[in-house]
Amino acid sequence: MTLAVFFTSLFSLLLLGIPVAFVLVLCGIILMLYLGNFDPQIISQNMVYGTNSFPLMAIPFFMLAGEIMAYGSLSQRIVDFATLLLGRVKGGLGYAAILASILFAGLSGSAVADAAALGGILIPLMNREGYQRDTSTALVASSGIIAPIIPPSIPMIIFGVTTGVSITKLFMAGIFPGIMLGLTLMFTWYLMTKKGNFSQGKKITFAEGIKIVKESIWALIMPIIIVGGIRFGIFTPTEAGSIAVMYALLVSIFVYKDIKFKDLSHIFVAAAKSTAVVMFVASAAIAVAWLLTIAQIPAQLADLFGGLIDNRIAFLITVNILLFLVGMVMDLTPAILIFAPVLLPVAKQAGIDPVYFGLLMVLNLTIGLITPPIGTVLYVGCGVGQVTLVNLVKKIWPFLVAEIIVLLLLVLFPSLVMVPFEWFYH
C-alpha cells in the first residue's frame, strides 16, 4: 500500500504541472503523513545533509565548464576538427556532427549543453550546404544524448551520489557504450545518405588541415586530461570538474582569446542558475529517497517483481520498459533521483552488477530526452534548429530506433559493457 501511495501522489502531482522539486517535497510529506510520523524538520535536514556531498560538487563544476565552452569557441574547434576528418564524404557534415558530439561529450557531460552548443554551429552550417533543417536538427539532437554516457557524465554523478556506486567506475563503464552509440548513429546516417540526396563535402587543403589541427589541439587535449586523470587515479571526478573549469578558462582567455574578463560574470550567473535548479531537485529527491528506505519501498518493489528476480534478462527487460515509459514523461535528473534508490536494491537481489545497472538506467533515461512528449533535448533542438516539434519527431525516429537497439544489445549481452569496463578500469 505504501508503494501505491507514493507513486499515486508522485504522478498525480506531476500531472498537475507542479515543478518537480516541489512535487518531491510534497510526496515526502504525503508519505510521512501516511506512515504517521510527520515532521517537516526531517525533510529539511535531509535536503541540507544530502547536498552536503563532495562528489555532488562535481555537478556545478562541469556545468560551469560547459557554459565556458559554449560561450567561447572550444565547441567550434571541435566541430572544425570533426569536419576535417569526416566532412569530405557524401553526407559528411552528418558524420562530422556525430563525431563532434562524441568529442564534446568528453568535455560537457550534459546532453542539453551538447545539443545547444553544437546545434548552434552545425545546424546553420548544414542548412547552408543544402541539408533539410529538420533532418539535421534530428541528427544533432540524437547525437547530443551521447554526452551523458561518455565521461564526464552529470547523470552518472547523480546516480553515483544517490546510490553510493563508484562514480569513477560508472565513468569507465560508459566509454565503450558511448562510442558504440556514436558508431550506430553513423551507420544509420549512412543508410539515410544512400537513399537521400545529400551533398558531397568540401575538400580541405593540406595547409587548411594543419591550421585546423593546430587550432583545435587545445580543445582535444581537455577530454584526455579529464578521463585520463580519473582513470589513473590522479584526481577524483569532483577534482576533475574543477580542473575542467580552470583549463577551459585558461584556454578560452589566454589561448583562443574569445572570452574577456568582463564576460565572466555573465558565464558564472548562467552556470549558477542551471546548477541551482539541479541541486534543488537533487536535495528534494535525496530527502525522499531516505523516506523510501524507511518505508521499505525497495523491498515492496522486489516482492512486486516476484519471480522475475530469478530471471536476469526478463527482469532487465521489464525494468527497462518501465524506465522508458518514465523517460517519456519525466526529465532525466529527477527520474534518476527517484528511481535509482528504489530499483538498485532490487537489481542487486537479481544478481546484477550495480555499475552495469547504472549504465543501463542512465542510457535508457537519456534516450527519453529525445522521446516525446517531454523530451528536453527535443525542445532544445526545436529552439536551436528553428523547427516545429511535429517535424522534428517525424525525422528523429530512425535515430531513436537505432539507440533503442543499442540499449537492447547491452541488455542481452552484458559483456559489451563489462569487458571494456574491466579493461578501462584495471
SS3 per residue for the chain: CHHHHHHHHHHHHHHCCCCHHHHHHHHHHHHHHHHCCCCHHHHHHHHHHHHCCCHHHHHHHHHHHHHHHHHCCHHHHHHHHHHHHHCCCECHHHHHHHHHHHHHHHHHCCHHHHHHHHHHHHHHHHHHCCCCHHHHHHHHHHHHCCCCCCCCCHHHHHHHHHHCCCHHHHHHHHHHHHHHHHHHHHHHHHHHHHHCCCCECCCCCHHHHHHHHHHHHHHHHHHHHHHHHHHCCCCCHHHHHHHHHHHHHHHHHHHCCCCCHHHHHHHHHHHHHHHHHHHHHHHHHHHHHHHHHHCCHHHHHHHHHHHHHHCHHHHHHHHHHHHHHHHHHCCHHHHHHHHHHHHHHHHHHCCCCHHHHHHHHHHHHHHHHHCCCCCHHHHHHHHHHCCCHHHHHHHHHHHHHHHHHHHHHHHHCCHHHHHHHHHHHC
> Which whole number is the average pLDDT over 404-421?
94
pLDDT tens per residue, range 326-347 = 888 777 888 888 888 888 988 9
pLDDT tens per residue, range 233-285 = 888 888 888 998 999 899 999 988 888 888 899 999 988 888 888 888 878 87
Distances (CA, A) of 34 to 4, 28, 31, 259, 301: 11, 10, 5, 54, 18
Please name the residues in contact with 211: beta carbons below 8 A apart, sequence gap of 6 or more.
none
At residue 225, the pLDDT reads 87
Of the candidates 344, 352, 154, the one whose C-alpha atom is nearest the C-alpha of residue 237 is: 154
At residue 353, the pLDDT reads 95
Q: In the predicted model, what is the mean pLDDT of the chain?
A: 85
Residue 1 has pLDDT above 70, yes or no: no
User: At 194, is the pLDDT very low, low, confident or very high (cuts 50, 70, 90)?
Assistant: confident
Report the chain's C-alpha Rg in angstroms. Answer: 21
In the block, residue with C-alpha cell 537505432: 402
Please name the residues in contact with 195: beta carbons below 8 A apart, sequence gap of 6 or more.
none
Residues shown for the chain: 426
| Angle between the N-to-C axes of helices 2-15 and 20-35, in degrees from 0 to 180, rounded to the nearest 10 | 150
Identify any residues that bridge with 200 across adjacent strands, giving them in sequence order: 90
> Which whole number is the average pLDDT over 64-68?
84
Which is more confident, 74 or 169?
Answer: 169
User: At 406, is the pLDDT very low, low, confident or very high (cuts 50, 70, 90)?
Assistant: very high
> Which whole number is the average pLDDT over 131-143?
91
Q: 0.85 exceeded by the pTM?
A: yes
> Which whole number is the average pLDDT over 133-149?
91
pLDDT tens per residue, range 360-394 = 999 999 999 898 877 888 888 888 888 888 889 89
The grid coordinates listed for 415 are 559483456
State percent of the chain over pLDDT 90: 24
Cα torsion at 95, 174, 405, 136 (round to 10°)? Answer: -30
**Across 13-22, 53-62, 293-302, least confident range:** 293-302
Residue 90 has pLDDT above 90, yes or no: no
Domain locations along the chain: 2-425
At residue 150, the pLDDT reads 92
Residue 83 has pLDDT above 80, yes or no: yes
At residue 39, the pLDDT reads 73
The grid coordinates listed for 88 are 569530405
The grid coordinates listed for 388 are 516545429
Residue 356 has pLDDT above 90, yes or no: yes
At residue 362, the pLDDT reads 95
User: At 426, is the pLDDT very low, low, confident or very high (cuts 50, 70, 90)?
Assistant: low
User: At 111, is the pLDDT very low, low, confident or very high (cuts 50, 70, 90)?
Assistant: confident
User: At 201, is the pLDDT very low, low, confident or very high (cuts 50, 70, 90)?
Assistant: low
* Tally of CB atoms within 10 A around 401: 10
Residue 305 has pLDDT above 80, yes or no: no
> Which whole number is the average pLDDT over 78-84?
87
